[in-house]
Amino acid sequence: MKTLFYRIGYGMVFVIINIRVGIDLMPNVIGYLMILSALSGLRKKEQSFGMGVRASVALSIISIPQFFRAHELHLNNPVLSLNVDLVLNLAETVLQWVLLYSICAGSFKLAEIRGKGELAASVRFRWYFYFGCSALYMFSYPFILNAEVTGLILISSLATAIAFLMILLVIRRVGRELAKPFEISV
């Protein structure tokens, strides 16, 4: 089980780090496929990971076009026109919520079953923190077209990245701690 959680962690690294030289050297699609393969194995232990399997499939499909073109949002288009990049970015964020919720919910339940209350609480807190930061980002994002909220966007983006890293670290910790056999208390 440790390797499955570590695979999720490595997949998350592919998703969060973008190195571009013409094309993405660490494509998100590879990260999502790594997460998909790990969640497929974890789904046998806890059903909460099933929702993450479906979200990682959708995210893999959405991220394929991003591999071939430069990642930039054109926010200066007229407001009435549909900006496909903006829609895909928002859809990707919502699907990432579902994916991370599934990972955190499954990890929380596994930790709780194993009697690791402190670990379960840490997973839950980090999910709430990530969701709050990214919800603030999603709320403020549409206003960038009409108002000066760059400070709010910057702060919420930074907080979301920090929260994502916190989830990455707790997922690795879940893998380490749940790999140990049950401890019998006397």
Non-local (6+) Cβ contacts of 30 within 8 A are 11, 14
Indicate whether 95 belongs to any domain.
yes
Question: Is residue 77 assigned to a domain?
Answer: no
pLDDT tens by residue, 97-126: 999 999 999 999 999 998 999 999 999 999
Closest of 27, 52, 48, 28 to residue 38, by C-alpha: 52
Q: 4-23, pLDDT tens digit by residue?
A: 999 999 999 888 887 767 66
Contact 87, 29 (CB under 8 A): no
Residue 185: inside a domain: no
Contacts of the segment 31-37: beta carbons below 8 A, 24+ positions apart: 32/56, 32/59, 32/60, 32/63, 33/60, 34/7, 34/8, 34/10, 35/7, 35/8, 35/11, 35/99, 35/103, 36/60, 37/7
pTM, rounded to two decimals: 0.81
The residue range of the domain holding 43 is 2-72+84-179
Specify the number of domains making up the chain.
1
Q: Is residue 145 part of a domain?
A: yes
Query: Is residue 147 very low, low, confident or very high in pLDDT (cuts 50, 70, 90)?
Result: low
> For 48, how many CA atoms within 13 A lie in the half-sphere containing its CB?
13
Q: Would you say residue 15 lies in a domain?
A: yes
